[in-house]
Amino acid sequence: MNTEEPVPAAMPDADIAKAAVRAVHRLAGVRGVTDMMTTHPTVSATVVKSEIERALRRAARNDANEISVEVRGGDVTLSGAVYSLSERELIRSTAWATPGVRNVVDNMTVAF
């Protein structure tokens, strides 16, 4: 076969991704390798939670103490009451911007 097919993949570590590319490149018949892998570094849930809570105290001062942050792996669940839609979006954006976060579940309610 004379085609090159890129194979996207997510890897936990850049060194593992480089090793995978080297291993595939050495296979008989492989003419070229296109590295389209992304890395997702492993971050402790405790670190992710504290980073989000610290960012919330800076960005969402009014509602920061009302929000519960739960982290499992890279999944973050936000619960509690906020007092405006803009505050809710700010809190969600803050969680998404934290390194190590792969998914955000928004269980917050808006109390008008």
Average model confidence (pLDDT) across the chain: 80
**Residue 2, pLDDT above cutoff 70:** no
* 50 Cβ contact partners less than 8 Å away, ≥ 6 residues apart: none
Q: What's the pLDDT at 23?
A: 81
Q: What's the pLDDT at 107?
A: 97
**Residue 7, pLDDT above cutoff 60:** no
Q: What's the pLDDT at 60?
A: 61
**90 three-state secondary structure:** helix
pTM of the shown model: 0.61
pLDDT tens for residues 37-92?
A: 776 667 788 988 998 888 888 876 666 678 899 999 889 999 999 888 988 998 99
> In the structure encoding, which two tokens stand for residue 9, read together?
């993949």
Residue span(s) of the chain under CATH 3.30.300.130 come to 45-110
> In the structure encoding, which two tokens stand for residue 43, read together?
């971050």
**85 three-state secondary structure:** helix
CATH fold, domain 45-110, is GMP Synthetase; Chain A, domain 3 (3.30.300)
Q: What's the pLDDT at 76?
A: 95
Q: What's the pLDDT at 74?
A: 86
Give the residue with greater pLDDT, 2 vs 53: 53
